[in-house]
Structure 1
Amino acid sequence: MTSRSQVRRLLADGLGYEEAGRRLGVPAGKAFLIATGLPADGGGTPATAERRRPGMPGRSTQHLAGPPAVNPTSDDTTRHWLRRRAVADVQMRRAARGHGVGPQGERVPDGVRDLTDVLTHDHDRLTALVKQLQTLPGARQGATEAQRRRRRAVVDVLAEALASHVPAERRWLWPLVRETLDGGDRLADRALEQDDEGPDALAGLRRTPPDGEDFDALAERVGGQVRRHVAFADAVFARLRQTVPQDVRERLGAEVVRAWRDGPPPPGAQEAPP
């Protein structure tokens, strides 16, 4: 039979209860009970006298009393089961087929011409794409092949949207900010710095296969950049609405809508000044 002195001798040598119990052939919780006279799974906070007993550790002892904690969602068997359940669910498959990649509806609703409203609607579309990218399971969540293809498609749509959104802001929004707002140069310079950070991450994301964790990390980085851009621009829009006359905002907004509708000019063509 294991004695208290045997357990305490091993503890004095610097061993923990798990190792002491293993050497003595008893469970760790029983080794704790022998050494202290207290159950390892005792509820509540030990009294001061109990905390002073020889062998009392300075942290919780619950782990000594039961099996190690396991997160079932990290188990490959569980992930495979969840995927099979999702694939077998008719309603989930029907919903997935009916929900296309990208935001729904027109890029700019009819009648919207205010520059700040035009760009706000486009920001909503960018945000919706980022949410789709974050909602779809990635490699760490055991994404299926169909989900990986869908994530890739969302990235392509996001890149296409940014390819016309960013130039529109550079041509019409930030020059207006420089001309009309106090501290406009500082605001515009900060926005352009944000824009310069985006292409490398987005290009890297498009080059990365969607079946690895590198894709997940780059997707999170691009999503963060989009969210920061939208929050910064929204604060600027509020100031423009207070400072710039509505007819000026509507004239510039109409220019943006026209540029998006007509597409980029052919190579070699000169752009008209804003």
Structure 2
Amino acid sequence: MPSRSEVLRLLDAGLDYAEAGRRLGVPAGQAFLIATGLPADGGGALTAEERRRPGMREGSTQHLSNPPARSPAGREHVRVWLRERAGRDGPLRRAAEARDVRPEGDRAPEDVRELTGLLTRDHDRVTSLVKQLNAVPGGTKGGSAARAARRETLVGLIAEALASHEPAERQHLWPAVRNALEDGDRLADQALEQESGAARTLARLERTAPDTEESDHLAQRLTEELRRHVAFEDAVFARLRKTLSEEERERLGAKVARAWTTAPDRAPDARGARPADRRGTEREE
């Protein structure tokens, strides 16, 4: 344990409590306690005499009592241990595999009809699926057959959501952007180009066996493409909220919601090639 004189000597040398604590191997709040005999979070109740103690600092010392938290899960060897431990937990693994991966709640609830709010909600639902996809170990991380099947299900759900989301945007959102914003043609063209790129990546991902290295790479690419596209649309939405009236946005939102409900369901084999036709999977005769 550092002594009071050691802490005060470092303070007299011009160091703050954070650096003094680091050099002495103790938290900053503990260094303050050693130097002053007072807790760092008691500044609001100090007497005049206590404020004159050696080692006291001007202003609040509250921050010294709450050092930054460091999560051990941020270290790769800890994450490896957690994955291995979870993999050996049979009940936990079976519960995770049985959990419904579909986003909860209505896609177009009665209290959400405004265009940008409705599309943002749908973006969140797709993002939730993409996060789940990236959380399931793939071919490069030793994923099991059950996990490969789960990844395949998630890819199908992403494709299913985008199969009605993007046509509705093309029919109702982007024409409104072209008409309402001065640079609407440029914005709409850029958005449609982004959507086309993500659609090509998704199509390749659907045709690729889920337990392969290529599937992992395509999933990561799709994640980045969708992230950029959602950020782009969020910026467009902010401008639309300033340009279009709420009544107009609600009218367009109702059209989008109606387009979703009338969109044809995708056939089981419309999400890509049959598993036996996927690259990396042998055809069974």
Partner of 1:193: 193
2:255 is aligned with 1:251: no
TM-superposed deviation, 1:87: 4.3
Partner of 2:165: 165
Distance 2:263 2:238 in 1: 28
Distance 1:242 1:82 in 2: 47
Partner of 1:155: 155
Partner of 2:15: none
Partner of 2:174: 174
* 3-state SS in 2 of match to 1:210: coil
Is the CA contact 1:108–1:118 (under 8 Å) kept in the aligned structure 2? yes
State the Cα deviation string for residues 73-106 of structure 1 (Å, max 9, x = none). 6xxxx89x965x4344155235414521232221
Amino acid at match of 1:125: R
Distance 1:200 1:94 in 2: 33
TM-superposed deviation, 1:183: 0.9
TM-superposed deviation, 1:196: 1.5
Give the alignment's TM-score, normalised by structure 2.
0.62
TM-superposed deviation, 1:145: 0.9
Is the CA contact 2:134–2:220 (under 8 Å) kept in the aligned structure 1? yes
* 3-state SS in 2 of match to 1:223: helix
Partner of 2:136: 136
Q: Where do 5+ consecutive residues of structure 2 fail to align? A: 1-75, 266-285
Is the CA contact 1:86–1:92 (under 8 Å) kept in the aligned structure 2? yes
Superposition RMSD in Å:
2.3
Partner of 1:220: 220
* 3-state SS in 2 of match to 1:232: helix
Is the CA contact 2:126–2:161 (under 8 Å) kept in the aligned structure 1? yes
Distance 1:173 1:135 in 2: 31
Amino acid at match of 2:153: A
TM-superposed deviation, 1:109: 2.1
Is the CA contact 1:126–1:226 (under 8 Å) kept in the aligned structure 2? no
Distance 1:93 1:177 in 2: 46
Q: Compare 213-222 and 197-206 and name the one that shifted more.
A: 197-206
State the Cα deviation string for residues 148-191 of structure 1 (Å, max 9, x = none). 11001000000010100110111111111110112111111100
Distance 2:97 2:134 in 1: 18
* 3-state SS in 2 of match to 1:182: coil
Distance 1:251 1:82 in 2: 48
Which ranges of 4 or more aligned residues in structure 1 deviate by more than 3 Å?
Answer: 85-88
State the Cα deviation string for residues 98-125 of structure 1 (Å, max 9, x = none). 5212322211222211011110000001
Is the CA contact 1:114–1:252 (under 8 Å) kept in the aligned structure 2? yes
TM-superposed deviation, 1:231: 0.5
Distance 2:237 2:218 in 1: 28
Distance 1:215 1:98 in 2: 23
Partner of 1:231: 231
Is the CA contact 2:115–2:250 (under 8 Å) kept in the aligned structure 1? yes
Partner of 1:20: none
State the Cα deviation string for residues 183-211 of structure 1 (Å, max 9, x = none). 11111110011112122211110110011
Residues 120 and 82 of structure 1: is their aligned pair in 2 closer, same or farther, counting only changes over 3 Å?
closer
Larger Rg over CA atoms:
1
Is the CA contact 2:97–2:150 (under 8 Å) kept in the aligned structure 1? no
